[in-house]
């Protein structure tokens, strides 16, 4: 029996971090509306079945016929060669209720329309407590299937399994959405299939993990700095395996201050949990640092993964690690990385809010969501605690297990608690999208571990990274400290700092008696911030803690530095991780960037002078406009020269 490979071996982890096996998560994009929807037939006391579908080469399926479940008559069957054959009474009675759908092309657009409809039945329609027992509506959901199989493997008889499910779901006897007969049939059907499937999956997992291990050994020949580690189970089979590349280890020396450990995917084929370590580079992009495959999600497995990663990175612990909510992972981090700040990614939490609260709150959820978002961004711990209690009481969530879970973890995800943790802008939407983009590149369409390993090695290769464009960064204020920062920071970091510089012009300063400053917006759009300035060693601290949080000075500190007549920012406020010189590119690429900047600056100066001269008279303007239009057309038609010639031209312009 050959096993057909899945189109994609990776799916998102589904079990809820609250620890309740009955609570599963639906991610954004799932059809939450289907939970409460009821089809027409069920509301009217019957069920339907497909009668016929008609297909053509041009239109595909162009007709679908649905009929009442009691439509037609059973054909007489050949009697089995047994002494006492069972006579089963048929429910079919020739009911003529039907719905026929037909597809046609109208004005070039394919449309479905109802060609026939009749809701006239020749039998009694059922009440709601009866219609739910029709075979069409007796469905065993996936979560119940897993529970039934688990109890069956533990030796529970079918009648006891049904009683356990009734107790766990808190329903009266006979009120499950299926009956004992359905459970019995399900167990009988699955028992042999599950045994065969388990054997095949175990064999495939063992073989593929061995191939992955061989691929790791082969990689050491191509990448001398490649590292890997693995564990064996009691049967000497590969259990867990982790690896990292030489480029990733080199990148960690610069960008290993903040690490995101993503564990949101697992393999449906192998039952393995995937963990990927990421950093953020000086262009705000996610960079691959390491990868691990674990047999389970226990604290012990996570601890081994963290130990392996630290060995790969030569024992240097990150300042901060970001993860999803997971109690086992939390315990492992506390044990293995005691001096590292642990932060829960806010986007992981927000992705669960809908599935946790939309159904319990119903129509109130639309009011709850924005209030929760605002609550997570409050700056003061006191304000958060006060507003949290109000929110919980207002929406009646005092006894909700997910609210209790979030509150117990509040010191790891709310901005008011983590504002002083260094996160290097990993909580921004841009970084989240960059991380998700990387994961999609390595996960989509992978059907075996060896192909997955090769895809990871390609995506992690720094030579394949998209280079930052050789862009000219315009100054907006003309302030000397802005000009100074432009020459040191990457375009990404400079744009963030430049935004703060521009906003700093809207703030007023009031000097206090002890030499500190109160800084506030001129329209009082936000609260006051206290900025402490220590001139002896040029230290500046703001109560907003933006520099401690992102490594880039805030508008309040910049305003005080301008007041103190600073024309250049102190070197200590240009972190190495945000500088151009820290880019994970070759020296030639950096020289190209510098040459491009020189070229752009020269043209910027010329065009500024040209604009000033051309505005003196209309004749001058018309002449300049005509000549520039002609020049632009001529340049566009020129053949593209190589990069070396472009750099040489830039140098000649600078010298002239």
CA distance 403 to 395: 11
Contact 18, 405 (CB under 8 A): yes
**What digits encode the pLDDT tens for the residues 261-316?**
999 888 867 878 999 999 999 999 999 999 999 988 889 999 999 999 999 999 99
Alpha-carbon distances of 163 from 320, 447, 479, rounded to whole Å: 47, 40, 75
Residue 332 to residue 350: CA distance in whole angstroms: 24
216: in domain? no
Band (pLDDT 50/70/90 cuts) for residue 648 is: very low
pLDDT at 20 over 50: yes
Same domain, 239 and 375: no
Q: Which two tokens stand for residue 359?
A: 């159904």
Look at residue 84 and tell me if it is in a domain: no
351 in a structural domain: yes
Residues 291 and 409 grouped into a single domain: no
pLDDT at residue 87 is higher than 70 = no
Assigned domain for 530 exists = yes
pLDDT-based confidence at residue 445 (cuts at 50, 70, 90): low
Res. 515: pLDDT tops 50: yes
Question: DSSP of 352-363, one letter per residue?
Answer: HHHHHHHHHHGG
Decide if 537 is inside a domain: yes
Q: Are 457 and 502 in the same domain?
A: no
pLDDT per residue over 449-500, tens digit each?
A: 888 999 899 888 865 565 554 466 788 888 999 999 999 999 999 999 999 9
- CATH number of the domain within which 271 lies: 3.30.420
Same domain, yes or no, for 506 and 539?
yes
User: What is the predicted pLDDT for the residue at 470?
Assistant: 45
Alpha helices in 11-134, H assignment, sequence order: 40-43, 128-131
Tell me the pLDDT tens digit for each residue of 524-553. Answer: 777 889 999 998 889 999 999 999 999 999
The answer on 185 and 241 residing in a single domain is no
Please state whether beta strands 48-56 and 60-68 pair in parallel, antiparallel, or not at all (unpaired).
antiparallel
Q: Is residue 180 part of a domain?
A: yes
Total number of domains constituting the chain: 5
Q: With cut-offs at 50, 70 and 90, classify the pLDDT of residue 600.
A: low
pLDDT exceeds 50 at position 239: yes
- Judge if 338 and 352 occupy the same domain: no
pLDDT above 70 (res 214): yes
- For the full predicted model, state whether its pTM sits above 0.85: no
* Whether residue 301 is found in the same domain as residue 401: no
∠ CA(105), CA(110), CA(113), 5° rounding?
Answer: 85
Q: Are 489 and 447 in a shared domain?
A: no
Q: Are residues 372 and 229 in the same domain?
A: no
Q: Based on the fold, state whether residues 408 and 461 are members of the same structural domain.
A: no
pLDDT score for 211:
92
The dihedrals phi and psi of 318, each to the nearest 5 degrees, come to: -75, 160
Return the top range by mean pLDDT from 155-159, 270-274, 276-280, 358-362.
Answer: 276-280
Answer whether 564's CB lies under 8 Å from 517's CB: no
CB 137 within 8 A of CB 42: yes
The phi, psi pair for 283, rounded to 5°, reads: -110, 10
Return the DSSP state at 15: B
In a domain, 337, yes or no: yes
Per-residue pLDDT, 516: 92
**How does pLDDT run across 584-594, given as a tens digit for each residue?**
754 344 444 44
Lookup result for tokens 């492992």: 332
**Model confidence over 98-137: pLDDT tens digits?**
888 888 777 777 777 788 888 888 888 888 778 777 888 8
**DSSP assignment string, 211-264:** HHHHHHHHHHHH-TT-EEEEEE-TTS-EEEEEEE-HHHHHHHHHHTTEEEEEEE
CA gap 616, 622 in Å, rounded: 11
Instruction: Look at residue 460 in the predicted model and tell me its pLDDT.
Output: 87
Q: What is the pLDDT of residue 645?
A: 40
Domain membership of residue 594 (yes or no) is no
Tokens of 31: 């059809």
Domain carrying residue 309: 223-344+439-467
């Amino acid at each position: 029996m050959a096993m057909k490979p899945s189109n994609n071996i990776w799916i998102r982890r589904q079990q809820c971090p609250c620890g309740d096996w009955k609570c599963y998560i639906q991610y954004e994009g799932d059809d939450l509306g289907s939970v409460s929807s009821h089809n027409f037939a069920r509301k009217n006391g019957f069920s339907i079945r497909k009668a016929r579908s008609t297909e053509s080469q041009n239109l595909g399926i162009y007709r679908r016929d649905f009929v009442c479940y009691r439509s037609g008559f059973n054909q007489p069957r050949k009697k089995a060669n047994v002494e006492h054959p069972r006579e089963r009474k048929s429910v079919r009675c020739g009911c003529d209720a039907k719905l026929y759908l037909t597809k046609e092309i109208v004005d070039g657009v394919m449309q479905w329309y109802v060609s026939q409809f009749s809701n006239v039945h020749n039998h009694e329609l059922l009440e709601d407590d009866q219609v739910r027992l029709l075979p069409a509506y007796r469905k065993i959901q996936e979560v119940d299937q897993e529970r039934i199989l688990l109890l069956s493997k533990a030796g529970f008889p079918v009648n006891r399994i049904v009683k356990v499910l009734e107790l766990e779901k808190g329903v009266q006897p006979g009120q499950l959405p299926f009956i004992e007969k359905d459970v019995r049939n399900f167990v009988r059907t699955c028992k042999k299939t599950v045994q065969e499937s388990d054997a095949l999956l175990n064999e495939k997992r063992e073989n593929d993990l061995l191939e992955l291990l061989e691929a790791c050994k082969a990689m050491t020949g191509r990448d001398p700095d490649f590292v890997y580690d693995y564990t064996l189970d009691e049967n000497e089979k590969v259990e867990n395996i982790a690896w990292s590349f030489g480029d990733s280890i080199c990148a960690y020396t610069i960008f290993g201050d903040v690490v995101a450990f993503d564990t949101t995917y697992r393999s449906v084929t192998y039952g393995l949990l995937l963990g990927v370590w990421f950093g953020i580079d000086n262009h705000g992009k996610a960079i691959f640092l390491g990868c691990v495959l674990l047999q389970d999600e226990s604290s012990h497995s996570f601890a081994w993964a963290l130990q392996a990663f630290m060995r790969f990175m030569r024992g240097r612990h990150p300042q901060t690690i970001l993860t999803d909510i997971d109690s086992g992972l939390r315990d492992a981090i506390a044990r293995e990385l005691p001096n590292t700040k642990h932060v829960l990614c806010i986007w992981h939490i927000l992705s669960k809010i809908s599935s946790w609260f939309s159904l319990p709150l119903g129509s109130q959820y639309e009011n709850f969501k924005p209030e929760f978002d605002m609550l997570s961004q409050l700056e003061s711990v006191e304000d958060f605690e006060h507003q949290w209690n109000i929110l919980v009481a207002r929406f009646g969530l005092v006894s909700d297990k997910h609210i209790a879970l979030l509150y117990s973890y509040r010191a790891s995800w709310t901005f008011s608690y983590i504002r002083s943790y260094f996160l290097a802008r990993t909580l921004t939407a841009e970084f989240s999208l960059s991380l998700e983009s990387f994961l999609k590149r390595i996960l989509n369409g992978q059907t075996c571990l060896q192909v997955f390993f090769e895809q990871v090695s390609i995506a992690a290769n720094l030579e394949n990274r998209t280079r930052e464009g050789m862009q000219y960064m315009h100054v907006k204020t003309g302030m000397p400290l802005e000009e100074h920062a432009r020459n040191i920071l990457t375009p990404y970091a400079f744009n963030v700092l430049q935004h703060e510089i521009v906003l700093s012009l809207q703030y007023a300063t009031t000097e206090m008696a002890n030499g500190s400053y109160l800084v506030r917006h001129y329209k009082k759009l936000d609260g006051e911030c206290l900025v402490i300035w220590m001139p002896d060693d040029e230290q500046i601290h703001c109560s907003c803690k933006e520099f401690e949080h992102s490594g880039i000075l805030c508008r309040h500190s910049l305003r005080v530095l301008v007041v103190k007549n600073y024309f250049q920012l102190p070197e200590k406020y240009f972190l190495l991780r945000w500088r151009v010189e820290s880019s994970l590119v070759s020296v030639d690429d950096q020289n190209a960037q510098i040459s491009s900047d020189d070229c752009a600056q020269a043209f910027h100066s010329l065009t500024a002078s040209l604009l000033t001269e051309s505005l003196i008279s209309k004749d001058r303007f018309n002449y300049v406009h005509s000549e520039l239009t002609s020049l632009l057309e001529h340049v566009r038609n020129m053949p593209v020269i190589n990069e070396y010639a472009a750099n040489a031209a830039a140098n000649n312009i600078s010298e002239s």
